[in-house]
Structure 1
Amino acid sequence: MKPIPGTPPARVSELSRIGDRLSFVYTERSTIHRDANAVTVTDQRGVIHVPAATIGALVLGPGTRVTHQAMMLLADSGSTAVWVGEQGVRYYAHGRGLSRSSRWIEAQAAIVSNRNRRLAVARDMYGRRFPDEDVTGATMQQLRGREGARVKRAYRSAADAVGLDWSKRTYDSADFSSGDPVNQALSAATACLYGVVHAVVVALGCSPALGVVHTGHERSFVFDVADLYKTDSAIPVAFRIATSASADIPGDTRRAMRDEIHRQRLLQRCVQDIQSLLAEGDSSLVEDWDVIYLWDGSAGRVAGGTDYAAEVDVPW
């Protein structure tokens, strides 16, 4: 038998963990190619090289062209490519993630399909935002009310910190430029946060669509997880940029978010939070699975690639 052509994919153990990578690299009006194990970004200013295995998400804006070799390298390195629109605030698609295991998406599906477990995880999510409050017996309606009040306080606090007269969050998803500076910055900041969280979600092998609190959207789980960090990262960054006399609000917001994500070690926190939420205390889920199992029904799973014919009497 002839060998499969092309370079074989790297083993997961050879790659950098998602929590140890750069958060995101944004580019627009450029050509993405490959040079050895680096992604090259070429525009009118020249060429830069970025080691593919260090990237969490390569965010591709308008006017970007990507070669086949570049996408092969990103896929092999477990780096997610995210295609976005103008100013980076409209999501279109994403590429392959790092995980080659189904354990987290199976745990996620089990939680979402069981009402009691879903409510318990939702309470856990909200409990992380209210560390001084007991949410053990809270209903979803009560939790939503507390969250709404918390976000309002976060907007007010961020506005007071920069001396801004804040009214409310308003934006037109079809017309970015119609918003005032703070709402433009908020849109750009949350888009960056969503992109990074999306990269972590798919890198772990979870489904972006299977949300616990949010539901019915292709990125429901991304919104769930991003809400854990929005008031501490995106909102203060956006208000700071909006009052800085910036001539490029989307660009300056992206750079400020990149620095804030690094400062808060948000990729590491995001990985840990997702795993602890979905594991629900089951330490076996955190083990590395890089093999194919068969569902057993009673034992849960058994090894694949094994001849089980001797276990039963086969009448044919």
Structure 2
Amino acid sequence: MRSVNSLRLKDLGEREIIRKLLELIPEPKLTRSNRIDDAVLLKDFDLVVSCDAVCDITDKLPGMKWADLGWKLGVMCVSDVASKGACPLGTLISLNAPSELEMEVVEEFYEGLVEASREYGFEIWGGDLGEAPRFLASLFMLGKVKRRFISRRGAREGDLVLVTGKFGLTGAAYHLLLRGGQAPSEHVRNTIVQAAYRPRARLREGVILSEIDGVSSSIDSSDGLAESLYQLCDVNQIGIVLERVPIAQEAIEYAEYNGIEPLELALYGGEEYEIVFTVRRSSLDEVLDRLLSIGCRAEVIGTVIKERGLFLKVEDQVQPIERRGWEHYSRSRNRNKYLGANLCTW
């Protein structure tokens, strides 16, 4: 019988909920990877599995089309698979929706998912349909490791920390769409909104990274750059000192126009599907050259250190970076102080 003083999910937060559930679940025998990784590697098959979900009330931004939401769900899973050095093969989808929802909405959502499947080369194998009070779609994805699986675990002191792109666009879009911010130009508005509505996964980049032995760990940045770096610190029991944070020019222009610190948007915006990874110093040139060959200008942003924590070097001072980012069931659902909760209706 449950106690009247039983903790609610909102009292715990996502990370603590996961920790408690893992204590209940027997250690799997068919997997070779960390159970809190982006995707799980199945022994002897070189297959990875991942899953993710979207709900209209938390994921459908104002002005966002249902096709955009379907596209985004596909990208979310592809990004997890790609950050492990794998290519997506196919998916199963579980869709739950109210009986009063128009069929056109469901069709449009599937059209977006099909677009993503064509873009990233995965099949849609089937799934399940059920009735629920809100629109909720969950995607299970199976992928194939191209050369080797890149775990979150593997970084060590002295490794370099790199990212596949710049940050801040989605954070700016959330501020614009949810907090009534103003864009300084039509170009800036279109760029940041497109980044939120139609994010891109770094699939080709992930495959290349899997081919380079000096890449020691990897994670995607969907929970926010700061939170993703903290997760690498946790699993590897290391620290990271950032020397720079690459911020998209449009995010800088938007932040300055609205009196926002650009670094806040870059560190805590989230929903940006770049790959954050660590590299042995001896492999840096190979990594940069290989990624540049497909048009990706990866950037070194910091160094792995022995002392636990995440820090930012500003001139000669090293300052701790606060741990904030997206966490389901958190008491404060804000990614940063400039962004509100995403509560959208049909």
**TM-score normalised per structure 2:** 0.25
**TM-score normalised per structure 1:** 0.27
Larger % of strand: which?
A: 2
Larger gyration radius, structure 1 or structure 2: 1
Larger % of helix: which?
A: 1
- Higher RCO structure (Cα 8 Å, ≥6 apart): 2
